[in-house]
């Protein structure tokens, strides 16, 4: 998520808004694909449950993000989208997407571009995270989130993340305890302070440095 697809004005002419309360599901894993959703306010997390009963937080969507892109492939939503707070979304039904796609080849192309971009982002980011320490993973996470806030016009240094610690740990493949301890260390090093779900980035440079270093000795 975090796609620059919102540039396409046609996607914004929608009247159908939906209001979700905290904990409501926008769609559930396994439901057949009916359309994409554009987040207007609030935020959502996407949770995928594997065949081994693990449930993983696989995406986080904030206002301006499109939700449901990964459902196009199988025509089925591959995870459940849960509102993390009071949230409004507008729907882009499948039929309307096809219509628009027929009228505007550019739209279809842009959609492909975005998907392709995502393939690459995820491949690289996750593979990068795979060989990084908890410290580097969290630093990377906050740098990325902060940039998303900035691009959306919010403050990049102070923000509220509706995700719980346990959501964050799931997203990064760590345990809650490790996330908590690492945040405490960041606080001590005056990189980033947090009170509950409010975060305040103090030392952007320092975070970026940690995020780019693997946290391990050899730079390979």
Partner DNA sequence: CGCGTCGTTGAATAGTTTCAATTCTGGTGG
Partner DNA sequence: CCACCAGAATTGAAACTATTCAACGACGCG
Binding site for its own copies (CB under 8 A): 48, 50-56, 58-59, 69-74, 78, 102, 105, 108, 111-120, 122-124, 126-131, 171-174, 212-214, 219-220
Q: DSSP of 172-185, one letter per residue?
A: HT--HHHHHHHHHH
Instruction: Tell the smallest beta-carbon distance from residue 184 to its own copies (Å).
Output: 21
For its own copies, give the closer residue by CB, 140 or 159. 140
Decide which of its own copies, DNA, none touches 178; Cβ closer than 5 to 8 Å per partner kind: DNA
Instruction: Tell the smallest beta-carbon distance from residue 117 to its own copies (Å).
Output: 3
For DNA, give the closer residue by CB, 114 or 164. 164
Angstrom distances, CA of residue 199 to CA of 69, 82, 89, 106, 188: 29, 22, 25, 39, 14
In this structure, the strands spanning 198-201 and 158-160 are: antiparallel
CB-CB contact of 65 with 1 (8 Å): yes
CB-CB contact of 18 with 88 (8 Å): yes
CB-CB contact of 76 with 97 (8 Å): no
Residue in 28, 113, 131, 151 binding DNA, rule: CB under 7 A: 131
For tokens 């393939």, what's the residue?
Answer: 119
Instruction: Tell the smallest beta-carbon distance from residue 73 to its own copies (Å).
Output: 3
Within 79-118, which residues bind DNA (CB under 7 A)?
Answer: none
């Amino acid at each position: 998520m975090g796609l620059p697809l919102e540039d396409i004005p046609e996607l914004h002419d929608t009247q159908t808004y939906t209001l979700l309360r905290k904990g409501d599901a926008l769609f559930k894993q396994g439901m057949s694909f009916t359309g994409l959703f554009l987040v207007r306010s609030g935020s959502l997390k996407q949770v995928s449950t594997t065949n081994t009963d693990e449930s993983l937080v696989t995406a986080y969507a904030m206002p301006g993000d499109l939700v449901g892109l990964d459902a196009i492939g199988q025509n089925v939503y591959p995870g459940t989208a849960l509102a993390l707070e009071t949230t409004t979304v507008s729907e882009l039904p499948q039929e309307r997407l096809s219509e628009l796609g027929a009228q505007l080849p550019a739209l279809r192309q842009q959609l492909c571009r975005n998907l392709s971009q995502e393939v690459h982002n995820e491949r690289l980011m996750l593979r990068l995270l795979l060989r990084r320490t908890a410290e580097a993973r969290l630093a990377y996470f906050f740098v990325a989130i902060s940039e998303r806030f900035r691009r959306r016009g919010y403050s990049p240094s102070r923000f509220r993340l509706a995700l719980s610690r346990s959501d964050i740990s799931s997203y990064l493949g760590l345990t809650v305890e490790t996330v908590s301890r690492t945040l405490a260390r960041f606080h001590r090093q005056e990189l980033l302070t947090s009170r509950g779900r409010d975060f305040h980035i103090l030392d952007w440079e320092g975070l970026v440095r940690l995020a780019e270093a693997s946290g391990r000795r050899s730079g390979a």
